[in-house]
Amino acid sequence: MEYKQRTVTCGELRKADDGRLVVLNGWVHRDRNHGGIHFINLRDRYGITQVVVGEQAPEEVVRTAEKLRVEFCIAVEGIVHARPASMVNAEMATGEIEVEVTSLQILSTCDPVPFLIDEESDAKEDTRLRYRYLDLRSNGMQKRIKLRHDFVKAIRDYLCGRGFYEIETPTLIRSTPEGARDFLVPSRIYPGKFYALPQSPQLLKQILMVSGFDKYFQIARCYRDEDARGDRQLEFTQLDLEMSFVKRDDVLLLMEQLFGYVFERTMDVKLPEHFTRLSWHDAMNTYGVDKPDLRYGLPLTDVDDLAKESTFGTFKAVLEAGGCVKALRAPASDTVAFTRKYITELEDAAKVYGAKGLAWMKIGSNHTLEGGVSKFFVGQERALIDRMEANEGDMILFVADQWKKTCNSLGAVRIKLARDLKLFDPKDFAFCWIIDFPLFEFNEDRGHWEAAHHMFSMPQAQYLDTLESDPGSVKGDLYDLVLNGYEVASGSIRIHDIELQKRIFRICNIPDEESEVRFGFLLNAFRYGPPPHGGIAPGIDRMVMIMAGQSSIKEVIAFPKNTAAVSPMDDAPSYVDQNQLDELHLIIKQPEQKG
Ligand code: ASP
């Protein structure tokens, strides 16, 4: 089909273009017909331009204009006219002009649309995903996809400038589960054998260090066959990075510099030169989570001593059983009243993490305590108010239980309070490092220790003699990067010694014979002069989501799956035909019907 190709985009014409003859290609965003005059908003990736089919337009143009519907793809030729001052639309970048159409061609038509293309679509998520090609036309999605592009580009520019090589690693690898379930790909050539999709390039990047590529990165796709839960996707993208001859602080510093550069370049946001560092224990103890949102304070405060002196039996019993009592100040608010109903809501948030209840009291005038458990703290009013730095109208909330349960439960209340009381600026970015993580976690279901992060992280030197005798107290050289309450990266200094690696495997219930079978290729590589090394892997989807002020990673992924792990647009996953199964030597065993 012959058509007029654009000479300008829909975002670029200004007053200075008055009188130019131009061609625009784009989509009919809106078409308003005022007494025979068509005002068409023509849209492309760059913006919107108003084109007008007026009374003097050639008859053929008028006839074509009558046929236009939203989202038709058209070519327009016309003359740019500066609008009189009173008609300038300050909301539009091209609002100083309009284009008087002299020729009009429909390049393709469009069925009635399931939703109008707007800044953001208000259609249901599955509808948006089914018609993702339309959804992606919205200004909101276009901006976010651009931000993602800018983000990745800035990462590449920065790291390449620092001497990193971008190296691809395979997506068909040996199955080496890293904690989650592997996606498997049956081999046609070797019946019964499978490739796995990488959960991350962890072992391959470590092997690249053995090969001497001392600064590596990759924008890597990772696959984890996990149950659909919350905002998870089966595949996600991370900046995978590894370096040789580095210690922990080298990795942390590099990340601070990288994100400093990237935020400035993509968002014009200046980050602090260094990010706050918190040990895992302090993060848990003070904020109740290992990924604290530091856009607001509200620390959890220890009140064991005051609880012990009180007359409240419940608190005293918990302390006697080795537990603790922590308190949180809820600042008085103009928008949220501390009613019984609201306190119950807060209590429900605490109970999710196992707390049996949430005790409370209010601060009255002249340093008095009112309501709830205040009657048990007679004589301690001043001490408690001072400790909590509380003021009239505030509330003090308490959880008493085992340390971890107390932290987690009151931490959840802290998060809910901050959201409900709007205690932070949603446009802020608060990064922090969590360091000194426990290396192992006890898996109650399986009855053995497991790596808290993955099995390749280095224990801190002072624990080397007590790894086996006291795994629970071992701290690792591992670190998480947290942004606004989300874990956005984790990494570690790695083990590069075969014997130490095997000790870790054994503690994680993987005997030597099994580790040779599963991880033999890594152990073999470690027989050939492995350098000390470490790295990290920031999640790209999540970081861009936070930067874009969104709460779901689907908003920054072009073609995500829905919460049921299905892609409504192409209906993946789908059945395949018998020939394909035969070639792969597969027989499908249908799950038994329930009932
Ligand atoms: N491979 C790790 C992960 O995906 C990150 C790292 O340790 O570098 O979580």
Residue 591: predicted pLDDT: 85
pLDDT digits (tens, 9 = 90+) for 114-170: 999 998 888 999 999 999 999 999 999 999 999 999 999 999 999 999 999 999 999
For domain 15-108, the CATH architecture is Beta Barrel (2.40)
**Residue 39 clears pLDDT 70, i.e. is over it:** yes
Ligand 1 nearest atom to the CA of residue 238, by list position: 4
Q: Which residues line ligand 1 (CB under 6 A)?
A: 200, 202, 490-492, 535-537
Closest residue by Cα to atom 1, ligand 1, is 202
Query: Cα–Cα distance between 488 and 238 in angstroms, integer?
Result: 10
Distance 442 CA to ligand 1 centre (A): 20
**Mean pLDDT value across residues 424-440:** 97
Closest residue by Cα to atom 4, ligand 1, is 200
Distance 178 CA to ligand 1 centre (A): 9
- Is-cis flag, bond preceding 331, omega within 30? no
Pocket-testing residue among 173, 200, 241, 481, ligand 1, by greatest number of atoms within 8 A of Cβ: 200
Q: Which CATH fold would you assign to the domain 296-423?
A: Gyrase A; domain 2 (3.30.1360)
What superfamily in CATH does domain 142-278+432-556 come from? Bira Bifunctional Protein; Domain 2 (3.30.930.10)
pLDDT digits (tens, 9 = 90+) for 333-390: 999 999 999 999 999 999 999 999 999 999 999 999 999 999 999 999 999 999 999 9
Closest residue by Cα to atom 8, ligand 1, is 536
Distance 150 CA to ligand 1 centre (A): 23
Question: What are the DSSP calls for 359-405, one per residue?
Answer: EEEEE-SSS-EESTTGGGGTT-HHHHHHHHT--TT-EEEEEEESHHH
Query: In terms of DSSP H, where are the helices of 165-279?
Result: 202-210, 248-267
pLDDT digits (tens, 9 = 90+) for 265-304: 999 999 999 999 999 999 999 999 999 999 999 999 999 9
pTM: predicted TM-score of the whole model, two decimal places: 0.94
Contact yes or no for 488/481 (Cβ under 8 A)? yes
**Residue 178 clears pLDDT 70, i.e. is over it:** no
Which helix (H) or strand (E) covers residue 81, if one does?
Answer: strand 73-82
Ligand 1 nearest atom to the CA of residue 201, by list position: 1
Query: Cα–Cα distance between 11 and 72 in angstroms, integer?
Result: 18
Write down the domain spans for the chain. 15-108, 142-278+432-556, 296-423
